[in-house]
Amino acid sequence: MSRTTLIVRNDLRRRLRAPMATILFLVIPLAMTGVIGMVFNPGADNRTQLPPIRLLVVDNDKDLAAKFLLGAFDQKELKDMFQVTLTDTATGEALMRKGKASAMLVIPEHFSDDLADQKPTALEVVKNPSEEFLPGVAEEFAATMAVGFSALAQVFADELKVIKSVRNLSLEAVTIADMTPFLEMARAKIIALRSYLSPLLLTVSSSTTTRPGREARASGFNIFSYIFPGMLIMFLLFTIEPSLREIQNERADGKTRRMMFSPLSGLELVTARIFSGWLLGMAVCLLAMGAGTLIFGIDWVSYPLQLALVAAACLCCAALFAMLNAFFRNKNQAGAFASPIILVFSAFGGSLLPLEQLPAGMRWVGRFTINNWFITGCREIMDGRLPIAALLVLTVSGLFFAAVAMAVLPRRLSAG
Amino acid sequence: MQQHILEIKNLSKSYGETVALANFSLDLGKGEVLGLLGPNGAGKTTLISILSGTLRDFTGSVTFKGQDLFADRGLKNLIGIVPQEMAFYEDLNATENLLFWGGLYAIPEKELKKRARELLALVELGARAREPVKKFSGGMKRRLNVAIGLIHRPELLLLDEPTVGIDVQAKMSILDIIRNVGREGTSVVFTTHQLSEVEQTCARIAIMDRGTILAQGTLAELIRIVGEKEVVEVSGEFSAAAFSAIIQQFDGNGMEVLSVTDNQAHLAFADPERIPAMMQHLFQRHLPIADLKIKSPNLEAVFLKMTGRSLRD
Ligand SMILES: Nc1ncnc2c1ncn2[C@@H]1O[C@H](COP(=O)(O)OP(=O)(O)O)[C@@H](O)[C@H]1O
Ligand SMILES: [Mg+2]
């Protein structure tokens, strides 16, 4: 067995021997996610119940389709979600400026006619910039409605023709082929809000082309998947940090002197410590993610990508603390600085407050935190994207920190 | 003269203004057990740290088995170290600790396990080998600390105050172990600030203070430094200055002032007949004296003579 393996094995054995701290760091993020999630989600299911979205609606159409759309907000589920106020453009804009609403939905003039004519038309959503998350939901909803209406317009093209002919308006030819790419792109959103829309779109889902595999995911927004990654990375920092602080403890109690007397080199010791911190972090993180799925039904979407992200994040954490311990003078300094650093990282990096709710300045600073990159990467994976930036930033800075630690620490270790 | 296993020449080391070692030189014969006696701050730990390679920026040279100790990392593997601190993992048991520290030396597993059992027997921890070390008493921990230093069968064992902070019985047991190790042919240097320990344990004793060796030799050789004199220890509520002023006026006929501190002084008398006169002299001048002891020549007297101060825990 190599000396590095021996150190790693010894570190892990000792952490297992006194598992309470590690177990706590595994349980606390789950508990906190549960509590915070419950605040928004008193029901038993996983579908979010955010605070009602204050939505202003300006109806410039006042015709059939607009009435249909406004009617949708009267359905039970949407009633809980949106607090709708009908208004006109000027008043609506004034209210938005005062920040009295999350978003304003403008139904354009001739909306019903244009739909019937299969002419392109647009629902306009004005978002309140100070509330980034709730307006997002409104926008999503509007987009879905637009798709729904477009689909309706096609599915019920014959009926609309009848309406149209009754109104004696000229008919323009719009082919389904023109609409297909748009429909395809928006399909996931339709399915996501299917239960809201099903009375309206009963026949829609079967009439659109199906892309397999995505349906399972689009089962709704899960508040826990929104909160949990932030908690996870914060407690991952807490889990990994002691493994590296051990470097300082051992300097204080003569173990380092004893080690440096043996064939073990400082470089081997530093490498081993980074590796054992990384390994422990990986184990705890993967356990926590599994628990997140079991308890909160979180869908991590792509396990290989998440594994890569977790590996990069754990490397970055372990190497960061190795580097910091290369500059801390003694174990008291290491002890005094570790928790504040983790808490500052967590505050600026989106673990304590969601990234969207942080002021712009804090978000900017947050880009220098492991938390921010892990959370962003995690969300990207959940959105079905490749978290290239996050993987790159975490891996490259992890390797950089490790290099600094390996350059500085061995000399300091062999100097007592 | 036997071949020296360790030769330390003119070792000097300062921490800023503080001189920790000043031209420190010392030789150690193969299989020799040397007690390095020095008060707190004498530079004992600094010496051990330099030998273990964890202190830089010193001058002087150290040869081990005729080679520069710092030139060849491999040489260090032949030395065992017992730091002043309890340098082991409290959450592991004694066997696990021995196997871990031994593992760093790439000893074949079977041999390592055998050696661990052997050492546990030597330090009388065999029965407690499977208990977490944190449950051990201070004395047991000190014994384990020594055992770990011996795991790779070193040719030289360095112990830095191995008996600090434990009771008399535990101390005896550690000193026994050190004697045993010496008998088996391992060379030993151990530092202490306790006279009785070196008196009991070591064939050769070196007295150091302020970073340098003041005297060395066997116990008998060292005592000869003071000569066949009676040593008087005077204690009481007096200041060093007051005592010095009064004792200067006394004609002791070869009396030697070994040390004077507040509340205590040591005097050596070649002519013991002068002791009562000295007492009278002190009483007449109303020096508040609480206690007066007459001792035969011993290491303490040597130490007092060499350092001018007494040695305490
Ligand atoms: N890291 C250090 N920085 C500054 N001074 C030190 C340091 N270590 C020891 N010293 C000083 O060096 C001298 C020798 O210390 P040390 O070797 O620990 O003595 P001992 O072990 O004999 O008690 C003392 O005066 C001590 O205060
Ligand atoms: Mg010391």
Q: Which residues contact A6 (CB under 8 A, 6 or more apart)?
A: B100, B103, B104
Q: What is the DSSP string of A143-167?
A: HHHHHHHHHHHHHTHHHHHHHHHHH
DSSP B116-152: HHHHHHHTT-GGGTTSBGGGS-HHHHHHHHHHHHTTT
Q: Which ligand is the nearest neighbour of the Cα of B83?
A: 2
- Of residues A188 and B270, more confidence is placed in B270
Lowest-confidence segment of A61-65, A390-394, B171-175, B284-288 by average pLDDT: A61-65
| Contacting residues of B for A258, CB less than 8 Å apart | 81, 83, 87, 101, 148-149
- All residues of chain B having their beta carbon less than 8 Å from the beta carbon of residue A331 are none
Q: What is the pLDDT of residue A416?
A: 54
Topology of the domain covering B228-296: Alpha-Beta Plaits (3.30.70)
Residue B42 pLDDT exceeds 50 = yes
Q: Which atom of ligand 1 is nearest to the CA of B208?
A: 22
Protein residue closest via CA to atom 16 of ligand 1: B43
The alpha-helical segments, DSSP class H, found in A108-210 are 111-117, 134-155, 157-167, 176-192, 194-201, 204-207
Query: Residue A116, CB half-sphere, CA atoms under 13 Å: how many?
Result: 22
Residue-wise pLDDT tens digits, A143-179 = 666 666 666 666 556 555 555 554 543 445 444 554 4
pLDDT for the residue numbered A220: 54
Q: Which CATH architecture has domain A49-208?
A: 3-Layer(aba) Sandwich (3.40)
Please name the residue that has the structure tokens 């038993």.
A44
Does ligand 1 come within 6 angstroms of the Cβ of B97?
A: no
Q: Does B219 touch chain A (CB under 8 A)?
A: no
A257 with B148: Cβ contact below 8 A:
no
A61: number of Cβ within 10 Å: 21
Residues A190-249: pLDDT tens digits? 555 444 443 333 222 222 222 333 333 334 567 888 889 999 999 999 999 999 999 999
Nearest CB among B54, B91, B104 relative to A262 is that of B104
Please give the CATH number for the structural domain made up of B4-223. 3.40.50.300
User: Considering CB atoms only, which of A14, A255, A260 is closest to B52?
Assistant: A260
Query: Which chain B residue's Cα is nearest to A10?
Result: B100
- Would you list the domain boundaries of chain B? 4-223, 228-296
Q: Does B164 touch chain A (CB under 8 A)?
A: no
Our CA-based measurement puts residue B81 at a distance from the nearest CA of chain A, in whole angstroms, of 6
Which residues of chain A have a CB within 8 Å of the CB of B84?
254
**What residues are neighbours of ligand 2 (ion), with CB under 5 Å?**
B 44-45
B87: pLDDT strictly greater than 90: yes
Domain ranges of chain A: 3-39+222-414, 49-208
Distance B215 CA to ligand 1 centre (A): 21
- In short, whether B83's Cβ falls inside 6 Å of ligand 1 is no
Q: What is the pTM of this model?
A: 0.70
Cross-chain residue pair B104–A259, CB shorter than 8 Å: yes
CB neighbourhood size of A67 (10 A): 14
Does the pLDDT at position B133 exceed 90? Answer: yes
By CA distance, what is A412's nearest residue in B? B54
